[in-house]
Structure 1
Amino acid sequence: MTKINLKDDFFHAINQEWFEKSKIPNDKTSISPWVENAIQIEKLIKKLFKKWSKNPNKIPNNPYLRQAVKFYNLVINEEKREELGWSPIKAKLNEIERINSFDEIFNNWSKYNKMFTYLPLAIDVGEDFKNDSKNIAWILEHSTILENKTIYENKKEKERHLRVWTRVVMKLLLNYGKSEEEAKTLIKKAIQFDNLYKDYVLSPEQLSNYVSLYNLKTRKEIRSFSKKIDILKVIDETFGKKINKISVQNLEHLSKIDEIFDNKNFENYKALFFIKNLLSNVGLLSEKIRKIAFEYTKFAYSIKKMKKLEDYAISLTLKFFGMPFGLYYAKKYFGKKAKQDVEFMVENIIKEYTERLNNNNWLSQNTINTAIKKLSKLKVMIGFPERIEQFYKEFIVNDYSENGNLVNNAEKFSLILHKYKISLYNKKENDKYWKMSPIEINAYYDPIKNLMVFPAGILSKPFYDIKRSTSANYSGIGAVIAHEISHGFDNNGANFDENGNLNNWWTQEDYQQFQEKTNQVIKLYDGFETEYGKVNGKLTVSENIADIGGFSCALSAAQKEKDFDAKVFFETWAEIWKSKYTENAAKRRLESDVHAPAKARVNVVVANEDLFYRTYNINEQDKMFIPSQKRVKIW
């Protein structure tokens, strides 16, 4: 074993032994310390559900958990699911086969909007970026057959993916009862429609710039997008009233709606419409059907084995009951000491950030004052939410004896969620509701609420350990906290004010300098070589700004502690982000993930700090060296 020199590759040098010993589980796309932690949490959850399933008397006095266990029991009853086969979705797919025109779809919009996915218009409810007190209607684009637009731009990759997709869908259609000729015709037509549609969807890079997705239009402007489709009628029907505030996610897509959904394309659209609705349900049918569908996932993400039934039962149950179960889990297993420690660290990091803003040398005082005002109004939530949405009370599961199955229960939940979202139009959603279950090993910043959330799941190893030194914890959870704060000042978050409204609070000169620094961050990462391809600096810029700013802030805060240890701080950062991905999962991430790969997150971030050079005696001859003029000091 040749020892890797940390001066050449800090990430792999620090984690060399782990990389040589660790293996990716057969049913996963990756392995890392947080995946290892997630596996331990999954084991505990499996143990709980097994116990509750066998002995319902042991289920805690919690109505949500009782319904979750009922749903879990539906999933693990492999025999009943096999007996039902395709029957739970036959009526739905038969209905699609009876539709003969786009007019028929629009004339039955209220009915079909509650039944199907992939209708010609995707109407949703979301925040008004310029008014945080209200939600508005959004017109969204649809998904393509393949995972993202980037795959289509590589002819060889596109053909590989479509070949596998065709093979898998052919197997599913034959299993469903289609003849080989019928299946071939459906697939051919579906791909033809997708080939037309793919040109008008946004790339991952465009989607990452979410401020550009907000395009508020008047009713008159919406009407002008189509001469064939009464878009306003569709939107008003969706909400059951006249809608005045509508944002368009993809203007080019909507401007081409008459061309895309022209009657000459109907049969091709109908084929993909049928297949999309079939595919959206394959995980709710038999295990044999799930196994066929898994073949595409296996190829696209290089996963060796399908999840075992008991593991799948947990993941599917948590898809619907993740929030109420997460609340129970966090209240029972989340330590008060951990919460107190993290609350204290949040206070310290915010103080440090404020101090850094006050000492900023490239912003005017007016901009600094407004940035500090935004920071002072930042809301922080740790561990678990105070409350969850009321609609979970309506998640009542019908078991097989009550003519229930996975499909009709999932459809019921979707309708409840749809009704709830529609009810939010022109209202503000309660800030107390979270977008992430407390069991998730993750965190997020919401620019429209100027709010940070740290679920209980992330307040454990590798990010936080009560037994670890302060330097290690500042490099872990401290850097995560500062990272999320930095999202309020990244290329997207910087456009929102202290109230979460899209509002230019910068002076013209300051914003110009910020854009220059953003471009420097893009250049710093763009083209960074990884095992499976190069980093896209534009796609990952928001996360890279948050990494650079967050790490630097956490480092400054850690240095004020009496027991500060620079090596512990830098090496903990490398250890936290160590990870292995399957080949195709790594490629999918490079194509569409706004986070840079782990090697870049570690090596670029540490090499951007002057202290790193002094600590490890890095010089110009070393591969880790970044010239001082290329190091970016942004926050």
Structure 2
Amino acid sequence: MQKNLKNDYYDAINHDWLKQAKIPEDRSQIGSFVEMDIKLEKLLKDTINGWYKYSKTLPNDPLIHEYVKYYSMLLDDQKRAELGWEPVKKYLNTLEKISSFKELFSKGRDFWIQYGALPLSIDIFEDFVDNTKRIIWISNPEISILPSKETYQNQEASKLIEAWKKMVNDLLLSYGKTQTQSEKLINQAIEFDQLYKDYLLSSVEWANYVALYNLKDISEIKKISHKFDIPKILNDFVKRDVSNASVINSNFFANFDKIFSDENFEGYKALMFIKNLLGTTSMLSEEIRIKANEFKKVLYSIDRSRSLEDYAFDMTNVFFGMPLGMYYANEFFGKKAKQDVEHMVANMIQIYKNRLHQNTWLSQTTIQKAITKLSSIEVMVGFPEVIRPYYTNFKVKTYEQGGTLFENASNFNKIIAEYKISLYLKDEDRRFWGMSPATINAYYNPNKNQIVFPAAILAWPFYQLDRVSSANYGGIGAVIAHEISHGFDNNGAQFDEKGSLNNWWTDSDRKEFELRTKKAIELFDGKETEFGKVNGKLTVSENIADLGGFECALEAAKLESDFDAKSFFESWATIWRSKYKEGAAKRLLETDVHSPTKIRANVVLSNSELFAQTYDIQPEDKMYLDPKKRVKIW
């Protein structure tokens, strides 16, 4: 065992689990996060099914009542089968009748919101430089067949396109198209997609999200197209004159008129029709839903679609996940756990400050600015104080009232879209969360300088009240410190204590930080996995957060009277245990900003001086990393 620990710590600690764990047929992976999710899902489904079967047990919460109405509509596979494609025929026919880009652009905001059919994507999001207001962001629409630019460059791309073609053909025939009509639509769509893919941003470009901010005056935006009045579209969208917008993907917009030329209209229309058709399938019959999952199964190596009950749970949570999460937190989240985690967060922030005071590569000017940012972090644990107001407008129209799943979903999406648009040039309540409390995750928001820890992640193996504190520090403690570290990764470090894009570094400190960031890239780049190599540039922000968070959590653990280094390291390795199906692993290597879990566990451990001392790691051991190559940023 000792020899194995020194060569592959992750495999040695997780040996029995890795041998026995099986990936569920309807999932693409299994691991600590997924196991927790399965357990949480069972608890919530048992609760919901109790409400569904015995209405007298429903809590006195109008949103939960709407949840159960929508859930029951999804469970009614007989009614869904009876309706077939009928609920979406009018919707899709309207799209088919459009004959030109000119007509498409003239349709107006309600049509654009409902169909997402514009050749540009419009969103309302924080102004990075002034986070007290939200501005328009425009980018290329998310209409590509494959999920990323990297997937197109994969040698399996043609096989994946063929799987997509087969699925779409089956659905088009089911919809009522002839084989000839289906083939024509598919070929037109693929022809446009082959042109369009060249203008996609890479995953690395998306990961460097600060560089996506590109504020342009409306006069510059007008120059994007000589054919279409984009400023007018933006004005119509927010119902007021727009003075500027952030333009993501300059290369796409530099070629806008070329991509959306009249000769490309039929290809674009075919792809839009298919994309909109696919977008409706989860709200139709079980037969249609399962047919529409075939491409996803190939893409991520999933063996079967989700069961009817699981599907109903997933789809209801698309709209009602936050109200359900609030119920979960109020019923199942203990006050003691909240206090314990808040104590750990306070400790971790103080440790970070102490480490900054001892920092040898930063100037005092930058150190003081960093400490100011740390002191300003808003910490949110368990559940939000309030949720967004639009949930109260979600009123389910049941089958008995003449409603359909598609009609309800369309109404809910319009309510959400109108709410987002209403925030144009305004600030949003900082107390709102971007995650339900019933989520196995945590996040740092650079635009608000907030860290959020939902109630559901505060469970084993991340956290347990009655175990040695070092194990909790190696689990939830490392997660807490990881999220704090995101405020100081290659992206987060560019935002100030208020969450606005503002350079608070001296020039020399910034250069040194960039050199250390480069070393972090090199530490992970090219690391081999079963399904391909790690891209150090893609994963650098998460790797910086892992490296800094681990060291900070370890230092905090040392302050406790029951400190045990091995318990800390074992807990760290345990939280990252995972198994992936081939397709999922390949897609993650192409697009995920996180390194594969085994790499996260072992590389960070190899970078630790105390780990090397604890296990007497020598140069001949595979877990050994030359001290000169260790990366220390935070």
TM-score normalised according to structure 1 size: 0.99
The aligned amino acid for 1:377 is S
- Counterparts of 1:260-339 in structure 2, within 5 Å, are 260-339=259-338
Equivalent residue, structure 2, for 1:115: 114
* Distance in 2 between residues matched to 1:180 and 1:109, nearest whole Å: 33
* Distance in 2 between residues matched to 1:459 and 1:238, nearest whole Å: 41
* Distance in 2 between residues matched to 1:496 and 1:602, nearest whole Å: 28
Contact 1:448/1:501, CA 8 A, preserved across alignment: yes
CA deviations 1:612-633 (Å, max 9, x no partner) are 1110011111111111111001
Does the residue aligned with 2:102 lie in a helix, a strand or coil?
helix
Equivalent residue, structure 1, for 2:226: 227
Equivalent residue, structure 2, for 1:104: 103
Does the residue aligned with 1:281 lie in a helix, a strand or coil?
helix
Equivalent residue, structure 1, for 2:446: 447
Contact 1:4/1:16, CA 8 A, preserved across alignment: no
Equivalent residue, structure 2, for 1:621: 620
- Cα deviation for residue 115 of structure 1 reads 2.3
Percentage identity across paired residues of the two chains = 52
- Cα deviation for residue 140 of structure 1 reads 2.0
* Distance in 1 between residues matched to 2:596 and 2:283, nearest whole Å: 33
- Cα deviation for residue 3 of structure 1 reads 9.4
Backbone CA RMSD of aligned residues: 1.0
- Are positions 1:514 and 2:544 aligned together? no
* Distance in 1 between residues matched to 2:496 and 2:566, nearest whole Å: 37
- Counterparts of 1:141-152 in structure 2, within 5 Å, are 141-143=140-142, 144-152=144-152
- Counterparts of 1:580-619 in structure 2, within 5 Å, are 580-619=579-618
* Distance in 2 between residues matched to 1:586 and 1:601, nearest whole Å: 14
Higher mean alpha-carbon deviation, 107-116 vs 490-499, is at: 107-116
Does the residue aligned with 2:5 lie in a helix, a strand or coil?
coil
Does the residue aligned with 1:463 lie in a helix, a strand or coil?
coil
Higher mean alpha-carbon deviation, 343-352 vs 111-120, is at: 111-120
* Distance in 2 between residues matched to 1:109 and 1:171, nearest whole Å: 32
Does the residue aligned with 2:24 lie in a helix, a strand or coil?
coil
TM-score normalised according to structure 2 size: 0.99
Contact 2:119/2:140, CA 8 A, preserved across alignment: no
CA deviations 1:593-619 (Å, max 9, x no partner) are 000001111000011011111100111
* Distance in 2 between residues matched to 1:302 and 1:3, nearest whole Å: 35
Does the residue aligned with 2:133 lie in a helix, a strand or coil?
strand
- Counterparts of 1:500-539 in structure 2, within 5 Å, are 500-539=499-538
Does the residue aligned with 2:293 lie in a helix, a strand or coil?
helix
Does the residue aligned with 2:452 lie in a helix, a strand or coil?
strand
* Distance in 1 between residues matched to 2:501 and 2:371, nearest whole Å: 17
Contact 1:4/1:12, CA 8 A, preserved across alignment: no
- Cα deviation for residue 142 of structure 1 reads 1.8
Equivalent residue, structure 1, for 2:406: 407
Contact 1:117/1:276, CA 8 A, preserved across alignment: no
Does the residue aligned with 1:325 lie in a helix, a strand or coil?
helix
- Counterparts of 1:412-427 in structure 2, within 5 Å, are 412-427=411-426
The aligned amino acid for 1:46 is K
Contact 1:8/1:623, CA 8 A, preserved across alignment: yes
Number of residue-to-residue matches in the alignment: 633
Does the residue aligned with 1:376 lie in a helix, a strand or coil?
helix
Does the residue aligned with 2:538 lie in a helix, a strand or coil?
coil
- Counterparts of 1:123-272 in structure 2, within 5 Å, are 123-143=122-142, 144-154=144-154, 156-272=155-271
Contact 1:302/1:583, CA 8 A, preserved across alignment: yes
Equivalent residue, structure 2, for 1:485: 484
CA deviations 1:311-351 (Å, max 9, x no partner) are 11111101110011101110110011100100110110011
Equivalent residue, structure 2, for 1:61: 60
The aligned amino acid for 1:194 is D
- Cα deviation for residue 462 of structure 1 reads 1.3
- Are positions 1:14 and 2:13 aligned together? yes
- Cα deviation for residue 110 of structure 1 reads 2.1
The aligned amino acid for 1:163 is E
Equivalent residue, structure 1, for 2:366: 367
Equivalent residue, structure 2, for 1:377: 376
Contact 1:380/1:451, CA 8 A, preserved across alignment: yes
* Distance in 1 between residues matched to 2:303 and 2:170, nearest whole Å: 19
Does the residue aligned with 1:505 lie in a helix, a strand or coil?
coil
Contact 1:578/1:598, CA 8 A, preserved across alignment: yes
Contact 1:34/1:441, CA 8 A, preserved across alignment: yes
* Distance in 1 between residues matched to 2:109 and 2:550, nearest whole Å: 50
CA deviations 1:201-246 (Å, max 9, x no partner) are 1111110000011000001110111111100011111111111231
The aligned amino acid for 2:149 is K
- Cα deviation for residue 187 of structure 1 reads 0.4
Equivalent residue, structure 1, for 2:436: 437
* Distance in 2 between residues matched to 1:140 and 1:224, nearest whole Å: 15
- Cα deviation for residue 4 of structure 1 reads 7.1
Equivalent residue, structure 2, for 1:561: 560
Equivalent residue, structure 2, for 1:87: 86
* Distance in 1 between residues matched to 2:99 and 2:239, nearest whole Å: 26
* Distance in 2 between residues matched to 1:404 and 1:114, nearest whole Å: 20
Contact 1:452/1:485, CA 8 A, preserved across alignment: yes
Unaligned runs of 5+ in 1: none
Contact 1:124/1:138, CA 8 A, preserved across alignment: yes
The aligned amino acid for 2:458 is L
Contact 1:105/1:112, CA 8 A, preserved across alignment: no
Does the residue aligned with 1:488 lie in a helix, a strand or coil?
helix
- Cα deviation for residue 518 of structure 1 reads 0.4
* Distance in 1 between residues matched to 2:3 and 2:453, nearest whole Å: 35
Does the residue aligned with 2:488 lie in a helix, a strand or coil?
coil
Does the residue aligned with 2:136 lie in a helix, a strand or coil?
strand
Contact 1:118/1:276, CA 8 A, preserved across alignment: no
Contact 1:119/1:273, CA 8 A, preserved across alignment: no
CA deviations 1:543-572 (Å, max 9, x no partner) are 000000000000011111111111111111
- Cα deviation for residue 33 of structure 1 reads 2.1
- Are residues 620 and 265 of structure 1, via their aligned partners in 2, closer, same or farther at CA, if it must alter by over 3 Å? same
Q: Which runs of 4+ in 1 moved over 4 A?
A: none
Does the residue aligned with 2:292 lie in a helix, a strand or coil?
helix
Does the residue aligned with 1:382 lie in a helix, a strand or coil?
strand
Higher mean alpha-carbon deviation, 208-217 vs 2-11, is at: 2-11
Contact 2:105/2:118, CA 8 A, preserved across alignment: no
Equivalent residue, structure 2, for 1:546: 545
Equivalent residue, structure 2, for 1:30: 29
Contact 1:496/1:503, CA 8 A, preserved across alignment: yes
The aligned amino acid for 1:145 is I
The aligned amino acid for 2:578 is S
* Distance in 2 between residues matched to 1:255 and 1:92, nearest whole Å: 32
* Distance in 1 between residues matched to 2:23 and 2:377, nearest whole Å: 38
- Cα deviation for residue 111 of structure 1 reads 3.5
Equivalent residue, structure 1, for 2:471: 472
The aligned amino acid for 1:7 is K
Does the residue aligned with 1:617 lie in a helix, a strand or coil?
coil
Does the residue aligned with 1:619 lie in a helix, a strand or coil?
coil
CA deviations 1:501-524 (Å, max 9, x no partner) are 101110000000000000000000
* Distance in 2 between residues matched to 1:296 and 1:264, nearest whole Å: 29
- Cα deviation for residue 162 of structure 1 reads 0.3
The aligned amino acid for 1:396 is K
Contact 1:170/1:184, CA 8 A, preserved across alignment: yes
Contact 1:92/1:115, CA 8 A, preserved across alignment: no
* Distance in 2 between residues matched to 1:462 and 1:320, nearest whole Å: 29
